[in-house]
Amino acid sequence: MKQQDRFQEEKQACVEALLNRYWIDKAADLELFRAIRQHYLELKEWFLETCGFSLILTRQFAKLEKVPGEAQPWMGFPSFMHPRDYALFTYCLWYLEDKGENEQFLLTDLVEAVRQHLLGLGVTMDWNLYDHRLSMARALRQLKALSALVAVDGDEMEWAQSREEHNVLYESSLYARYVLRRFPRDLREYSTPEALGEGMYPDTPEGKLKARKHRIFRRLLQEPVVYDAEWSEEERYYVLTQRHFIVEQLARLAGLEGQRYREGLLFFYPEASGEMELFPTARAISDIALALAGEVRRRAAAGRSLPTDGEGRLHLTRLEFEGLLLKLRAKYGSYWSQQYRRATTAELAAELLQHLKEWGLGGELDSATVFLAPALARWNGEYDDEEE
């Protein structure tokens, strides 16, 4: 392999890792860390110019400070069950700010400090309440998953079950100071959650163009699919007129292949990667989604197409959608897991719709109508021995 090709593969691997990991730790992945350090200047400039992302490189780790082009529900922590979890996660980071690297402390000290601080803000946390303890336990587990916190002895879930009998000894980490993204302005200057994703752009035509460009590249890099109908008029104009530039940029360093379809400019990874989860996933519900796509394509080929709207979405009543799933289960149920063979049609429909929604492949228009998005038509699922 030519050195130039090797460098290109290295840079694409760096971009994939930076986009999908919280950070690249030198001790855990020395080879990748060295590659990022070697290509740091080019990667830093590309992320900054293309997306407005900052690339941080220290002696111990590398981190890309990512910002969503448009916040999506699935971008949160999957383990969090309540908004309180996020609040406690943030106040744990507040507590860790005063801790030195590898400094040890007890869970009871942390929760009391957080409780007292919140009392001063007029918010009451009662650790006698099981739900409050569970929220704190989930926040602490996420901090451990991010390597911002190390449990030396004990487990926070045991404390949540019985706070009188259990405690945990923690050790702070250098990562705690880098979990939260750095903001260009004081947080008190932001009036809406959407404003948190905005950068500092001058109020000039050039500044507005750069802000638009960053929003577009952020969405294309971080969302499974973005249709033309989802862009603003100005963004759609940029995507249409700068198509070749966008495709070239995302191919060169991100390794994405782009193609223009009627519904929009769509991108995909030509090969599976361990850095990210791609559709179809390894979950059985993805197989059902592919089978659904195949059934819809066969219906269209037989002249029984479903009605579409101006965005190219197929409309089905919930009854029609559940009827399709019943047919699929009768035809392919022997291939399905016991969970989906035994699920009610309503349960199966709800889980499949949620899966399609997460991947931009479908959703609900209202309580009685569902839709299948255009990108689902790019798939066709069949089981290998169907013809036999």
Alpha-carbon distance of 64 to 189, in angstroms, equals 24
Non-local (6+) Cβ contacts of 134 within 8 A are 81, 160
Three-class SS of 91-124: HHHHHHCCCCCCCEEEHHHHHHHHHHHHHHCCCC
Q: How many residues does the chain have?
A: 388
- Residue 144 pLDDT > 50, yes or no? yes
More confident residue, 246 or 383: 246
Peptide bond into 280 cis (omega under 30): yes
Q: For position 271, what pLDDT does the model report?
A: 84
Torsion sign across C-alpha atoms 217, 223, 226, 232 = negative
Query: pLDDT: is 1 or 168 the higher one?
Result: 168
Q: In percent, how much of the chain has pLDDT > 70?
A: 97
Mean pLDDT value of segment 75-80: 91
- For the structural domain made of 284-378, what CATH number should be given? 1.10.10
Mean pLDDT, the chain, rounded, equals 90
Task: Tell me the C-alpha distance between 311 and 365, whole Å.
Answer: 13
Instruction: Considering only residues 73 and 284, tell me which one the structure prediction assigns the higher pLDDT.
Output: 284
> pLDDT digit string (tens) for 114-131?
999 999 999 999 999 999
The pLDDT of residue 388 is above 50: no
pLDDT at residue 383, rounded to an integer? 76
Choose between 45 and 5: higher pLDDT: 45
- Region of 258 (left: φ > 0; alpha: ψ -120 to 50; beta: rest) is beta
- Every domain of the chain with CATH number 1.10.10 lies at 78-178, 194-268, 284-378
pLDDT band at 385 (very low <50, low <70, confident <90, very high): low
Asked if residue 291 lies in contact with residue 328, where contact means CB atoms within 8 angstroms, the answer is: yes
- % of the chain residues with pLDDT over 90: 69
The answer to whether 187 and 213 are in contact (CB under 8 A) is no
* 103-117 average pLDDT score: 95
Residue 199: per-residue pLDDT: 67
Mean pLDDT of 217-241: 95
Residue 30 has pLDDT above 60, yes or no: yes
Q: Is the pLDDT of residue 198 over 80?
A: no
Residue linked to tokens 């080879």: 31
**Confidence tier at 302 by pLDDT (50, 70, 90):** confident
Categorize the per-residue pLDDT at 197 as very low, low, confident or very high, splitting at 50, 70 and 90. Answer: low
The Cα–Cα gap between 158 and 281 comes to 33
Amino acid identity for residue 256 in this structure: L
Q: How confident is the model at residue 301 (pLDDT cuts 50, 70, 90)?
A: confident
DSSP 45-81: HHHHHHT-PEEEE-SSEEEEE---SS--GGGS-TT--
Token pair in block for residue 126: 């009662």
The CATH fold of domain 78-178 = Arc Repressor Mutant, subunit A (1.10.10)
What is the mean predicted confidence (pLDDT) over 262-277? 87
Average pLDDT over residues 19-33: 94
Distance of CA 216 to the CA centre of its chain: 16
387 — pLDDT class (breaks 50, 70, 90): very low
Q: Is the predicted pLDDT of residue 18 greater than 50, yes or no?
A: yes
Lowest-confidence region among 86-95, 100-109, 177-186: 177-186
Query: Average pLDDT in the 47-57 region?
Result: 95
DSSP for 9-50? HHHHHHHHHHHHSS-EETTT-HHHHHHHHHTHHHHHHHHHHH
Domain 194-268, what fold?
Arc Repressor Mutant, subunit A (1.10.10)
Measure the CA–CA gap between 49 and 221, rounded to whole angstroms.
14
User: Is pLDDT larger for residue 7 or for residue 103?
Assistant: 103
Mean pLDDT (whole number) for 309-330:
91
pLDDT at 1 over 80: no
